[in-house]
Structure 1
């Protein structure tokens, strides 16, 4: 029987690294993307290079109706299967100081990071509970643990994800479904493109910027059967930034 994992925002960065890691763990990986089809296809190619397989699935996690419709169609095509691992990774930054932040910058970040978590998780939860096995891994951020000036929208969304992770984990632990969050710090992705790298490194006790595969390794462990007694955990991957 095939095992399926869905990674939202799987076309680039941390999402891409997670897709490759889960493929190496023998999961058929469903790579969600919103607009970067070419990048999603690159991720699928990398997945297949591991010897695994997958598919790309286009939907906007912030659009509840579209998300539910696409996931329902997937379930109809796979009546005997279910998505046993969900990695809620989709998210964006729209940085600005609160004084200058326009409503669109607030809404878009909250819609994708927080509402997206609800829109994707709820439709998949029932089958996990019926099968009495599932892994939900939410990609939060150190911004949700430690306020980052200029990121009040992002911090609010990621902090809410942490609270939701802890609450949902308590609701469903007896059903064999775990819910954990990973909180990356400064990771070498597109989000760091406009930052001064040396200034960033100076903030990090480890003295370096992290790599996406380092986050993916932790996600892979949390997705495994070996992590069955870990739920409700919020684990930073930040080189000691929040220590």
Structure 2
């Protein structure tokens, strides 16, 4: 029997590559995205699409209804609204939108489809290294990514008795088309592996957690950042004089 999975934010970046890799690995993939997909695009062939804006409650509920009779092996909560504004001009509409799309929608999907998830299934939430640090302007984004880590643990506690695992992938800087213009040049320099991640590398981590090879990994975070989070930039600057 083909294993069916949901991937949110599947039209671009990490979500797109994960959807393609999952499809090529034999999964039946349902992609949720607010971007309208050209059905004739060969990149997306074999993927079932549900046009869904995760920041809109009724659209998420419609997606849940559409999948209500589908046995599911996995849910990958990848989509995110990257929002922020200067502190003195804090935008609470962006705050509400980020919480709805990045935090409430994943919870809504997992809860609404909880009876669809089969024993041995897996949920993977895509957090961010930004959720492990302070923010100046991107508070709505980083707050929701931090909360996703706690949500992962709570979901793991509740789904565990049903044989469904829940984990989070925490990427560092990733060379997606949407992120490249915003990646500081210094990130590759100070990452111990000497470069930023490629989307394929994050997708591989996601599919690992989805697989039976991770069958006893539950309620934890898999950091995929090349060692970036291990580095203190001020110490790096100080120690350069000795290198």
TM > 0.5 fold call: yes
Please state if 1:61 is matched with 2:61: no
Q: Would you identify which runs of 4 or more consecutive aligned residues in structure 1 move more than 4 Å?
A: none
Q: Which moved more, 1:212-221 or 1:18-27?
A: 18-27
Q: Which runs of 5+ in 1 are unaligned?
A: none
After superposition, what is the alpha-carbon deviation per residue over 1:184-212, rounded to whole angstroms, capped at 9, x for unaligned? Answer: 11101134243255233234232211100
User: Residues 90-121 of structure 1: CA distance to partner in whole angstroms, max 9, x if unpaired?
Assistant: 10212333333212222222221111111211
Aligned residues: CA RMSD? 1.9
Residue 228 of structure 1 pairs with residue 215 of structure 2? yes
Deviation at 1:30, TM superposition (A): 0.7
How many pairs were matched up?
230
| CA–CA separation in structure 1 for the residues paired with 2:158 and 2:130 | 25
Cα displacement (A) at 1:177: 0.2
Per-residue deviation, 1:181: 0.3
Contact 2:78/2:126 (8 A) holds in 1 = yes
Counterparts of 2:135 and 2:156 in 1: how far apart (Å)? 26
- Is 1:105 aligned to 2:105, yes or no? no
Give yes or no for contact 1:114–1:160 (8 Å, CA) kept in 2: yes
Other-structure match for 1:32 = 32
Does the aligned pair in 2 maintain the 1:146–1:242 contact within 8 Å?
A: no
Contact 2:55/2:101 (CA < 8 Å) preserved in 1?
yes
User: In 1, Cα distance between the equivalents of 2:160 and 2:154?
Assistant: 10
Question: How does the TM-score come out when normalised to structure 2?
Answer: 0.87
TM-superposed CA distance for 1:160, in Å, is 0.5
1:241 corresponds to which residue? Answer: 228
TM-score of the superposed pair, with normalisation by structure 1: 0.87
CA contact (8 A) 1:62 1:116 kept: yes
CA-CA distance at 1:47 after TM superposition: 5.2
Residue equivalent to 1:17:
17
Tell me the equivalent position of 1:146.
133
Alignment-derived partner of residue 83 in structure 1: 72
CA gap of 1:17–1:6, structure 2 versus 1, over 3 A, is same
Unaligned runs of 5+ in 2: 231-243
Deviation at 1:62, TM superposition (A): 2.4
**Secondary structure of the residue that 2:30 maps to in structure 1?**
strand
1:103 to 1:61, Cα distance in 2 relative to 1, 3 A: same
